[in-house]
Every structure is written in structure tokens, then in C-alpha cells.
Structure 1
Amino acid sequence: MSAAAVSEGASGAGAVRWTIVLAVVLTAVLEVLDSTIVNVALPQIQAAFGITNDQTVWILTSYIVASVVVMPLTGFFVRRFGRRRLIITAIVGFATFSALCGLSWSVEIMVACRLGQGIFGAFLIPLSQSILFDSFPKEKRGQAMAFFGLGVVVAPVLGPTLGALLTEYFSWRAVFYVNLPIAAFALTMMTGELKSEDTKRITVDWVGLSLMVGAIASLQLMLDLGESRDWFASKLIQVAAITLVACAVSFVLRGRGKRDNIIDFSLFRDRSFAGANVAILGFGVAMFGSIAILPLFVQGLLGYPVLDAGRLFIPRGIAAGFSMVLTGSVLVTRFDPRKLLVVGLILTGSGNILLGLLNLDAGFWNLAWPGVVSGLGMGLFFVPMSTLAFQNIGPDRQDEASGIYGVTRSLGSSVGIALVGWQVASRLQFHYATLASGITPFDAAARAWLAPLNLDPASSEGAAQIAAQIQQQASLLAFQDAFWLTGVAAFAMLPVVLILQRPNPQAAPVAAH
């Protein structure tokens, strides 16, 4: 953003420019909403195209891979093209490919359009954050950033609810079309708010770019396909792992001390920024891991209809929104942000563990209240963490730092989804084998359980009933283990708080996704 634009934002007696707040919130919502809204529609997409589970995974993978690969390049593209030109292009490109996704007639076209969505969507969060950061005086940034955080934290939580409603009452294609009016509104306001700025002609480190793309794409491929391909039993996963190690090691060794490296490694010399990236990675596992498996738990095991499963996220979203506004506008200015982080991590972990204590008789509010606890923790985490992460980052490095921070958050969500998927699958096998080993045709308890059905454990019908019951109980135990894992992931980030520097009294809160 030009100096004039920044100056203008800082003038006017420190007045908050709500137009720019709403513009960047809507721009950010475009990206974060898409990260969860599509998941609910996947069964309908799979049926429409007649594709397998492996092919369905590529609809999610293509978007995530493209986004994670491109996001670290935000700073590079800003220097080359300018924020205004880049964010307007990103909004238009994202909306265009969203429309094309809705018009897709085959899985191949869908995957190609999702790649386009990911490429353009990658810039939306980092640019929105850095634009808002530079547009307000320090004394007003907390209030503005609280509403920004409200959008970027609540949107992915409520994504399954909106996706369920659109799929149920309209069509799976509507989950892509919903982006169009949001994009149009954001584009109108963004175009009027941002000023043109000078650009620089800079050289591209193509070797470094290729190594970075190879490493991130390989990691994402492993995370998305590892569980379905039995991890390292698959040659594809083996090749991806070798590529990941080779590219990552080469990228780091080559880029250390290299001035024109595609990523500025000197950012990680700031221990607060480095620690924040570790914390947001772990928090992504805790947050997105639990959000990913909750619909599977309530729909697949408890038999909830899709709309009821979607409504479970409403209390969590309301709690997260309340916590975000309260933290950004009041708490972060009165308390040490590191203490708020501790409370946020404890609440998030506790909410996930409470889900791990539920059984097959759990009702709606038994499932919803743990989400409220986790939602309160989310708000107490995001604003303080971003305050600490960017307190030592100058305006000239804000775009690049935001891009790196966004990639780490995205990788955390990918790791979380992959980890809980593996946990459910592996623990299901373990619990099934353990439970089944104690059942025999002569088991008194089994005979007593089948007696009202006039079945014998030795009969095929009786054996099928027992197998179904064992499968159900093993699934419950597997989901409980997965929820516990996401809770432990939140608690495991508590020591990272010790790495973070004492907050600078002059630093303003910066909400980040």
C-alpha cells in the first residue's frame, strides 16, 4: 500500500475505516469458507460424477496443494505487481474458478478448476491481513482486527452448516456459487479503498521456487493420500517422501544467507515469529482435526441427518465469534497475550477431550457443548498469537511474513486431517481385533444378548449381529481416541508459549487465520 494510503488510514482522529474492514473480512472469508464448506457436499459430488473415494480426495487435495504452494510467494508477487493489482486479480480469479467448479461436468474439470481456486485463493488471507494491518493507527487496530478475526475464524467453523443447507435445499453446485456474491461485494469495496502503488522488477529464483514447490507438494500429497494408500507400503508415498526430503534439505541449505531466495529465512531469527509458526501448526492439528472428524462421527456412527450434523457447528461458531471480539477489543489490551494463549489452548484441548468422553447415546447438546468450549479457546488463541507473531515484523516484510504464517496454518490443518484419519482407521482395526478376541460361540454374555432375537452365536445370523455390534463399539473407541489426540495436540503447544517474547507495549493486535 502506498504511503499516502497508509497515512490516510492513520488520520481522521484514528477513526476505524469500516469499509476496509468489511472488504478484507469478506475477501478472507472467500478463502477460509472454501476450506470446509465443500466437505459436506463431497458425497453428492461423488454420486454425480460416479467416482471412487480416491478420486474424490483429489477434489480437496488439488485446492490445498495449490494454495499451500503459492501462499509463501505472496511477498514476491506484491513486490512485483503491488497489493492492489494482486488482490483484485486474486478475487476475480477465485470467483471465476468458483463458477467453473459449479459448472463442472467431470472430475477432471473439477480438479483443474479447484487448482485454479487454490492458486488465486492463496493470496487472499495474507493480503487481507497485511492491508488491514497497514490501514489503521495502532490504537485502533485491535478493534478492527477483532472483526477481521471474527470472519476468518468463524467462517470455517460454520462452513459445514452452510454447506449442508445449500446441498440439502439446492445442489452441491451451490457451495461454489455462493462465492460469487461475496466476491463481487468485496471487489467493489476493495477497488474503491486501495490506491495504486509502485512496483519493482525483480528476478525470479527459479531453482529455489522449484525446490519449494516440490517439497510442499510432496508433503501435501503424503498427507492427503497416505492413509488411503497405507502410507509407506505405497510406492507413490515412498517417492513423495524421498522427494520431500531431497527438496526440503536442498532448499534450506541453498537458501541460507541467499539474499534473493524465494523465502526470507531471516524472518525465523525472530523467536516470536518462529515460535508462533510452531504453535499455529499444532493448533491447526487440534482445531481442524476435530472439525474434520465430528461430521463423520455424528453422521456415520450416530446416524445424524446432514442438516443436524451441520447445526452442531453453530454453537461453536457463536462462541468463537464472541471470544474473538472480546479478546481483540478488550482482553488483549489488558492482559499479557501469552496468558490468554495459555487459556485458549487449555479450553481448545479440553473441548476436544470432552468429545472423546462421549458414547453412542450422546444427544445434540452433549455434542455441542464441547464445541462451545473449543470455540471460546479459538478466540483466545488467534488474536494473541498473531499479536506476538508480528510484533517485531516491519511493514516492508509484512506480506511475506503473512504468507509464511498462512502456509504454516494450512499445513497444520492438513496434518490434523491426515492424522485423525489415520488414527480412526488404525485404532478401528486395533479395537475390533481386541473386542473380537474375547467373543466365542460359547460366550454367555453373547448368548444372553442374542436370546431376545432368537439367535445363536454359532449361527451365521447371530455371528453377523455380533460382528456389527463389535464394529460399532470399535468405531466409537476409535473416534474417542482421535478426539483425545486433537486435545493432546492443543496441550502440547503450551511449552511453545515460553519461547515467545514478552509483548511489546506498542505492538497492536493482529488477527490472522
Structure 2
Amino acid sequence: MTPAASGHVNMVIVIAVVLSAILEVLDSTIVNVALPHIQAAFGATTDQATWILTSYIVSAVVIMPLTGFVARRVGRRRLILTAVTGFAVMSMMCGMSWSLEVIVAFRLAQGMFGAFLIPLSQSILFDAFPREKRGQAMAIFGLGVVVAPVLGPTVGAILTEYFSWRMVFFVNVPVAALALLLLAGELPEDKTEEVQIDWKGLALLALGIGCLQFVLDQGETLDWMSSRVIQVAVIAAVIGALGFIFHALTSRISVVDLRLFADRNFALCNLIIAGFAVSLFGGIAILPTLVQSLLDFPVIASGHLFIPRGLTAGLSMVLTGAVLVNRFDPRLLAGIGLLLTAVGNFMMGAINLNAGFWELAWPGAISGLGMGLVFVPMSILAFESISKGRQDEASGLFNVTRQLGSSVGISLVGTWVVRGLQTNTAVLSQNVTPYNPAAQAYLSPLGLAPDSAEGAAILGQEIMKQAEMISYLTVFNNLGLLALATIPLLFFCRAPKPGSHVAAHVH
């Protein structure tokens, strides 16, 4: 009898796998704040420096769907121990990098090892908890997967400001060492299978997902379809995706079993978590730039903005997993969570250039409450009918969907801000002339005239600020509408079976 089946929860394993999950998701956001410092250290352009982020995400997204296949072949214990060790080593190498090319290469390898950590942590937690406590398992997992990236910018800002950009990589090493020690001592050996390698499916999957992630990461920088590189990447992504789907549905073996999506709840929950990720992480991605470039917040203060969101998200995760999922329909909880996410975005869409700390922090705190209400019920509904043997594979697909959703969100908001800035600047400029009374009134206290060189320069700067602010407000409102548009999908999910609200899957 397993510990979970006997009702006993091995908290050492729980702590170990949560630490493993935190390693991967924290590293996806902690580096963002340090990026300008890394760029300066290596004399790189902004476009070149983004590869430090892109290389990690692309490799992680490509490898993550393979978790179930690799776990069956080498064993779950051996795989997670190897992944944690490799992640720690690559983190050290990133921190010791001496050039942009070197750190990009190490980030690529770091993402490959990190890709296994989230799905494996989730499936190990499933097994560590008995059925009646699966909601608690998802709450604990959510604390690592969802709260850690929210607090990433705060941790990154502190380490960069008071130490060095290299510390955002070195900080992974002691966390990995503790996780490795706990896992090696407590995680039991498991059986392996002689699984035939699907090289064709693996190549098509890597081509499709890798090129899609590249398009999402670099599309705005390269001006989307006006770039020949993006055109080729889009064609390659379509060929890879369609080729993999056809291969997976017709081949005797497949590296990923797409039949998992025949389960209605699993398919719908993947769509919902993707929409939620777009709405949530899209807003998180642009907030530091907004407050630093337009509102003149220092780096540390911009990092502190995420603390209230992280605290409410953690509270929401624990409360939802320990109490609410036992008493309410998970679909209702997820709907409320999506509504709170929308409200937080709409509140951000109503700020102005004079917004202070709490005017920016409160919307994040409200969105944070929605995080636990969405993530925990969605995980429960998605895995309700997934058997134990397909658990690793389903977890890999679910987390890839979440990651792709966040990538789409980051890509969308970047495009909306840039395009909105261009449009808004043109519209505002048409109304600001030397004969406009508002322009004259604005410059009069400064003793300047609109038709003077200095007056025109000040008006131009103000137009740019206002145009950029309108762009940001439009983005937040769009993200709020997206969160609302996701809610109707919940009505098509099957209701949980009586007494199974806390079941993550059926054995």
C-alpha cells in the first residue's frame, strides 16, 4: 500500500517536489529584472539580450510534453534527480558566463532540464496525497507554480540591486541542493518500461512547438510577418504541428498521446488555463515597464508591487485547496477566480500617470485572490478522469498549455503596446497645435509658447507619455475582457462526480 493510499502524507517528499517546481517557474521571471544589467555587462543590444529569456522558454516548452515518455523509460525518480542536478549545474554556469553566446547556450540547457520539474512535481504530489486531500496537493503545488513567478521580479530586483545579476542564477544552487537531498532520501524507486523511441514524432513536435514559441517571443521585435525569419518560422510551426497531429493519430507509437484530449474536461480545462495564463501573465509582464518608464518607480519599488499579489495568491491557494473545493463546485470557484482576474485588470485599466503604490498594488492583490480560485479547481477538473498511468503525460501537456498561454499573453501585450503607441501618438498629435487653447494653458505656467522650440519639445514629450499610457490602459482592459470571455467554457465542463471534488484523477 502506498503512503497516499494509507492516508499518510510524506511531507518530506512534498517539500522536495515543491522546491523543484519553484526552481523552474521562479527562473522564468526572476531574470527579467536583471536583464538590463546582463545586457550592459556583455555589451549586448536589447534584441540580443532577449535571447537570454527566449532560449530558456523555447527549450522548456519543447521538452515538457516528453515528460511522460521519458519518465516511463528511465523512471520518475531517476528523471527528477537528473533534472534537479542538471538545472543546478546549468544555473552555476549561467552565473559564471563570460559572454552573451555562452549564457544563451547555458540557458538553453537549463530550460531543457527544468522542463521536467513542473510535470513531475505535479504527478508526484498526486501520488503523495490520498484522494480526499488532493485539493490540498494542488494548493501546495500552486504555491510553487503560480505564486513563485509572481514574486520572481521582487526577488530578482533585490538580488540585482544589492548584490549582482549573477546572483539570480546562483540563488538556485542551494534550493536545488536541498531538493536533491530530500528527494534522494525519500522518493522511492519506480519501475521502468522498454518504450520505443518515436524519433519522427519527437522531431515534428520539437519543430512545431519550438518555432511557435520563437514566433511568440521574437514576433514583435522582428515586426511579425514583415520579417522573412518570422514567415519561415510560422510555416515551419504549421508544418510541424500538422505533421505531428497526423503522425500521432495514425502511428502505432507516439511520443505524446493526443487521445488525452478526447476527455472533455481535460480539453476544456486546457483551453481555460491557457486563456487565464494570457490574462494573468500578460499583465504581469508589462507592469514593471509601465511603472519604471512612465511612473518613475525605482527598480526595488516596482518589485515590491508584486508582494501583495503574491500574498493574496498564496492565501487563495491554501484556502481553496484546504476548504473551498470540499464545499463548492470547482466550476463555480473557477468562475469567481476568472471574474476577480478580470476585475483586477479593469482596475489597472482605470489608473493615470499620477497613480501611487497602492493604486497599482490593489488590482494585483485582487487578481492574486483569483489565482488560487482558478488554478486549484482547474487542476482538479482536468485530471478527474485521467488514469494514474497517463498522469505524467497529461501533466506535461497541461503545463505546456499554461506556458504557451503565458507566452501568447506576453507576446500580445507587447504588440498591443507598440501598435497602440503609434496610433495614439498620431491621434493626439492631430489635436495639439500652437492654436489649441489647452496647449497654450499647459505651457503658460512655464512661460513658454506652443510655437517655440522648447514649448514644442515639451508638448511632444507629453504627447508620447499620454499615448503610451493610453496603450497600457487599453491592454489591461483587453486582458480583463479575455478573462470574462473564458468563463462560458466552464459551463461545458462535466460536473465532478459526487464526493470527488477533491479528486485530481481516477485511478
Shared fold by TM > 0.5?
yes
Letter in 1 for 2:206: V
| Matched residue, 1:277 | 270
- Does the alignment pair 1:451 with 2:418? no
1:355-380 Cα shifts (integer Å, max 9, x gaps): 01000111111000001110000010
| Matched residue, 1:78 | 71
| Matched residue, 1:8 | 3
Given that 1:30 and 1:183 are in contact with CA atoms closer than 8 Å, whether structure 2 keeps it comes out as: yes
Letter in 1 for 2:259: S
1:84-137 Cα shifts (integer Å, max 9, x gaps): 000000000000000101001111001001001100000000000101101221
Segments ≥4 residues shifted beyond 4 Å: none
User: CA offset at residue 310 of structure 1?
Assistant: 0.5
- Does the alignment pair 1:369 with 2:362? yes
- Does the alignment pair 1:234 with 2:227? yes
TM alignment of 1:6-405, pairs within 5 A: 7-11=2-6, 14-405=7-398
1:162-199 Cα shifts (integer Å, max 9, x gaps): 11000010000000111111101111111111111221
Structure 1 Cα separation of the partners of residues 190 and 503 of structure 2: 26
- Secondary structure at the counterpart of residue 431 of structure 2: coil
**In the comparison of the two structures, how many residue pairs are matched?**
504
| Matched residue, 2:500 | 506
User: CA offset at residue 10 of structure 1?
Assistant: 2.5
Letter in 1 for 2:199: W
Given that 1:16 and 1:140 are in contact with CA atoms closer than 8 Å, whether structure 2 keeps it comes out as: no
Given that 1:61 and 1:221 are in contact with CA atoms closer than 8 Å, whether structure 2 keeps it comes out as: yes
Structure 1 Cα separation of the partners of residues 437 and 386 of structure 2: 68
1:486-510 Cα shifts (integer Å, max 9, x gaps): 2122111111112211112335354
State the TM-score, normalizing by the size of structure 2.
Answer: 0.98
Letter in 1 for 2:177: A
State the TM-score, normalizing by the size of structure 1.
Answer: 0.96
1:382-421 Cα shifts (integer Å, max 9, x gaps): 0000000000000000000000001000000100000000
Could you tell which deviates more after superposition, 349-358 or 243-252? 243-252
1:12-52 Cα shifts (integer Å, max 9, x gaps): xx132211111111010001111111100011111111100
- Secondary structure at the counterpart of residue 437 of structure 1: helix
User: CA offset at residue 443 of structure 1?
Assistant: 1.9
Letter in 2 for 1:404: L
Given that 2:61 and 2:209 are in contact with CA atoms closer than 8 Å, whether structure 1 keeps it comes out as: yes
Could you tell which deviates more after superposition, 495-504 or 450-459? 450-459
Letter in 2 for 1:296: T
Given that 1:277 and 1:405 are in contact with CA atoms closer than 8 Å, whether structure 2 keeps it comes out as: yes
Structure 2 Cα separation of the partners of residues 254 and 74 of structure 1: 19
1:201-231 Cα shifts (integer Å, max 9, x gaps): 2221111111111111111111111111111
Letter in 1 for 2:274: L
Structure 2 Cα separation of the partners of residues 258 and 344 of structure 1: 40
1:308-341 Cα shifts (integer Å, max 9, x gaps): 1000100000000001000000000100000001
Given that 2:326 and 2:501 are in contact with CA atoms closer than 8 Å, whether structure 1 keeps it comes out as: no
Distance 1:507 1:396, change over 3 A: farther
Given that 1:212 and 1:247 are in contact with CA atoms closer than 8 Å, whether structure 2 keeps it comes out as: yes
User: CA offset at residue 155 of structure 1?
Assistant: 0.7
**Percent identity over the alignment?**
58
Gaps (5+ residues) in structure 1? none
Letter in 1 for 2:400: V
Letter in 2 for 1:415: V
Given that 1:383 and 1:509 are in contact with CA atoms closer than 8 Å, whether structure 2 keeps it comes out as: no
Letter in 2 for 1:379: G
Given that 2:131 and 2:504 are in contact with CA atoms closer than 8 Å, whether structure 1 keeps it comes out as: no
User: CA offset at residue 296 of structure 1?
Assistant: 0.7
| Matched residue, 1:488 | 481
